[in-house]
Amino acid sequence: MIESNGEQIIRSNCRGCHGGCGVLVHIKDGRITKLEGDPECPTNHGTMCGKGLAYLQLVYHPDRVTYPLKSAGKKGEGKWQRISWDEALDTIVNKYKEIIPKHGPEAIVIGQGTSRDYAGFLYRFANLLGTPNVITAGHMCYISRLGATLITCGFMPICDYNGHPNCVMVWGSNIVWTHTDEYKAENMSRVLAEGAKLIVIDPRLTYLAGRADIWLQLRPGTDTALALGMANVIISEGLYDKGFVEKYTYGWDKFVERVKEYPLDKVERITWVPAEKIRDAARLYAETKPACIQWGVAIEQTINCTDSNRILTDLMAITGNLDIPGGNVFFTPPPVRTIGEFGMHQELSVEQRKKQLGGDTYKLAQIVALVTPKMVWDAILTSKPYPVKAIQLHGTNPVITRANASEVYQALSQVDFLVVSDFFLTPTAELADIVLPAATWLELNYIGSYYMRSGYIFPRKKIVQIGECWPEHKMFNELGKRLGQEQHWFDTVEDGLNYILEPASLTWEQFKDMPYVRGDMEYRKYEKKGFSTPTKKVELYSTIFEEWGYDPLPRYREIPESPVSKPEVAREYPYILTAGARSPVFFHSEHRMIPWLREIHPDPVVEIHPRTAEKHGIKEGDWVFIESPRGRIKQRAKLTTGIDPRVVAAEHGWWFPEVQTPDHGWDESNINIITDNNPEGYDVAMGSTNLRVLLCKIYPVEE
């Protein structure tokens, strides 16, 4: 704590997105006056993004939910009554105590969004409650990458920017705008400053695509085919690391056979990328050492989720770039209790685990303890395979962010009992029976970057108390105690933090004054221990998938709704929609109510090629209907030659907090009104929903 001019400055750690940036919090007279980057933090060196810098406007926003509420009318009617925390918790607990004897704990679903860093507490609560049904964003974001890489090489390989990569292949990621987890925009500035070779795979011309040595503008959703084509070049031209392949990979011959099914002329037909460019990119990546792959979430939100992740991991492996300085590495974690251990997964009985919705079908999702959300909506609407009676959601707005939003809305409107904890009355919270006021990262003590694989943890400190807002950690702690889980919970959340920090011989009191704790990094750990897979090698051919009955080798599956797979649909809906283009000032469905951010990005934007726009009489700035076989929404046209004339790119996450009706315009511009959650389009192992690629038509909104 530093003091100057009657102002205190406290060091903390942002969580405006997934967070991880060091922040200096200025306080005067008990009020936060300013947030700025901490120049001494090793992950951001004082830099910050707009979302973090505008956070004051979120903390002190007049529309924050600051005390518990119960619905005082019909669901979604917008009538609320203030209640005490005791009443809120007792209502929830009594309801659960009613449900469990009749329907079992599996009838209660616990959910989160991207997790505002409470996954460990959430899973501990769910597992002790006995429900195997947890929904998160993980089935198509990050956890799917984690699952796919765990079975392939035993860890999730992270781009080692500090190790000075000489080539970076940015695959479906706009890291300079929105990527977090282990990565910060600053990392990419470093790549550009040091002049490393840059390959960008993206259907849109982003800033990075423009700066790249090679930009591969692929047909949306065909990433796996493109990567298999690159592997084909690397193998047929002998550019792979023969020593590594021989010693540390499993299934090479079968892998080579599979890769041969993807000659460049075929890959060009699938991906639209000229064979010559694919060859150049493959050579540049394989021949420049060290090289790393910076992957983004786009590749996980299609039917090819697991195989996209697997083939990229395979590329890292066969070029010898795994766990070397400047390659893709496993950062040694700080020596604290893992989220998995804290989450008490071992407490969930085998019998209960077997009841996980969709568990038998999506085995990879089952081992990372996730349910693909449609299974929950179906269970509510059809009572099959058994009824879901209650949902408790934390920091998630699924009527905006999950595929087939209309079905989500219907399910959440019909479920017997819905609890939502959030900062604001989102369109999802408006459907709740009980709304709990959640604390932001400036209102709680926690461990920043705890779940990340960057090798760091940072203290995140409570600076202010807003109304009666509680950290979610405290909600789980107190609900757990009231549900007979006393022996597993803590007097205070900080006692829980002590338990997490214990293996590092630290207490929260000690840790909170430290800049960070970092694991001791060691490269090439596989030389001593092998890889943490059944064969101790990188499994190019997955023995786990073989056992589970999935294809052990990665392959490209055609996107279920594309001009190739559904030519008859494409006649009416001729354009490929790539959904989920990001803005640098919003985090998924958050931040639309923050004045400084909304001023920068007032409307949802759909990118259209000028030639395509002209065909439909669409001009720059026009409101445009984007229609799929499932419905239509409107966004504002931005004409750009940076997109293929056959492709349209729309934004996700839109609702309108300024719309005063309780639905807050949830279905006007929400891209998930037109996405599909038909299981035919799911990744076979992970159950990932296709949020990204579908067919659409566009036309101007007539005034």
Binding segment toward another protein, per CB under 8 A, in 34-42, 88-96, 299-307, 471-479: 34-42
- In Å, how far from its chain's centre is CA 654? 17
Binding flag, residue 610, another protein (CB under 8 A): no
32 versus 466: smaller Cβ distance to another protein: 32
Question: Nearest distance from residue 463's CB to another protein, in Å?
Answer: 16
**Residue carrying the six token digits 């460990």:** 120
SS3 state at 328: strand
Identify which of residues 193 and 350 has a Cβ nearer to another protein in the complex.
193
Establish if 53 lies at the interface with another protein (CB under 8 A): yes
Nearer to another protein, 537 or 638 (CB): 638
Strand partners, 647: 576
Q: Is residue 159 a contact point for another protein (CB under 8 A)?
A: no
Burial of 213 (0-12, 13-18, 19+ CB in 10 A): middle
- Find the shortest distance in angstroms from Cβ 33 to another protein: 9
Q: What single-letter DSSP state applies at residue 331?
A: P
Q: Binding to another protein (CB under 8 A): which residues in 543-582?
A: none
Q: Choose the binding region for another protein from 39-47, 122-130, 360-368, 501-509 (rule: CB under 8 A).
A: 39-47
Q: CB of residue 406 vs another protein: minimum separation in angstroms?
A: 33
Compute how many residues bind another protein; rule: CB under 8 A: 47
d(CA 117, CA 475): 14
Q: Find the part of the chain contacting another protein (CB under 8 A) among 53-61, 140-148, 515-523, 627-635.
A: 53-61
Helix (H, G, I), strand (E, B) or coil at 422: strand
Shortest distance, position 14 Cβ to another protein, whole Å: 12
Nearer to another protein, 98 or 213 (CB): 213
| Residue list 126-145, contact with another protein (CB under 8 A) | none
Site for another protein in 255-294 (CB under 8 A): none
Q: For residues 499 and 428, give the distance between their C-alpha atoms in angstroms, rounded to a whole number.
A: 34
Structure tokens at 93: 């607990």
Give Cβ neighbours of residue 91 (< 8 Å, ≥ 6 apart): 70, 83, 433, 434
If we measure between CA atoms, which residue out of 172, 177, 167 comes closest to residue 50? 177
Position 60 contacts another protein (CB under 8 A): no
Spatial contact of 556 and 222, defined as CB atoms under 8 Å apart: yes
Tell me, residue by residue from 162 to 201, as one string, x for binding to another protein by CB under 8 A and - for no binding.
Answer: x-x-----------xx------xxx-xxx-xxx-------
Told to check if 649 binds another protein by CB under 8 A, we report no
Report if residue 599 touches another protein, rule: CB under 8 A.
yes
Query: In this chain, which stretch among 397-405, 483-491, 594-602, 652-660 interacts with another protein, using CB under 8 A?
Result: 594-602
250 contacts: CB under 8 Å, gap ≥ 6:
533, 535, 537, 538, 539, 540, 541, 543
Residue from 17, 25, 49, 648 touching another protein (CB under 8 A): that is: 49
Tokens found for residue 237: 């031209």
Give the interface segment with another protein, choosing from 494-502, 547-555, 593-601, 655-663 (CB under 8 A): 593-601
522-529: Cβ within 8 A, 24+ apart? 522/332, 523/323, 523/324, 523/325, 523/329, 524/323, 524/324, 525/323, 525/330, 525/332, 526/248, 526/322, 526/323
Confirm or reject binding of residue 207 to another protein (CB under 8 A).
yes
Among 546, 600, 629, 636, binds another protein (CB under 8 A): 600
Binding status of residue 530 toward another protein by CB under 8 A? no
Query: CA torsion angle for 62, 66, 70, 72 (degrees, to 10)?
Result: -30
Inter-residue contact 400 to 592 (CB < 8 Å): no
Binding segment toward another protein, per CB under 8 A, in 28-36, 65-73, 452-460, 518-526? 28-36
Rounded to a whole number of angstroms, the minimum distance from the CB of residue 637 to another protein is 14
Nearer to another protein, 139 or 638 (CB): 638
Phi-psi region of 527 (alpha: psi -120 to 50; beta: other; left: phi over 0): alpha
> What is the C-alpha separation between 89 and 392, in angstroms, rounded?
12
Indicate the Cα dihedral angle 239, 322, 367, 495, nearest 10°: -170
Least gap, CB of 46 to another protein (angstroms)? 5
- Please select the residue that binds another protein; options are 19, 20, 22, 50, rule is CB under 8 A: 50
Backbone CA torsion sign across 541, 544, 546, 549: negative
Closest to another protein by CB, 160 or 378: 160
Taking the complex as a whole, the smallest distance from the CB of residue 615 to another protein amounts, in Å, to 20
**Part of the chain binding another protein (CB under 8 A), chosen from 52-60, 394-402, 462-470, 660-668:** 52-60
Side by side, which strands form the sheet with 390-394?
80-82, 69-71, 434-437, 417-422, 390-394, 108-112, 134-135
Round to whole Å and give the CA distance between 102 and 146: 36
Which residue, 104 or 642, is less far from another protein as judged by CB? 642
Q: Does 44 bind another protein (CB under 8 A)?
A: yes
Judged by beta carbon, residue 250 or residue 441, the one nearer another protein is 441
Q: How far is the CB of 665 from another protein (least distance, A)?
A: 20
The SS3 call for residue 511 is: helix
Q: Report residue 495: phi and psi, to 5°.
A: -65, -35
Q: Interface residues with another protein (CB under 8 A)?
A: 34-37, 39, 42, 44-50, 53-54, 56, 162, 164, 176-177, 184-186, 188-190, 192-194, 205-211, 215, 584-585, 595-597, 599-600, 640-642
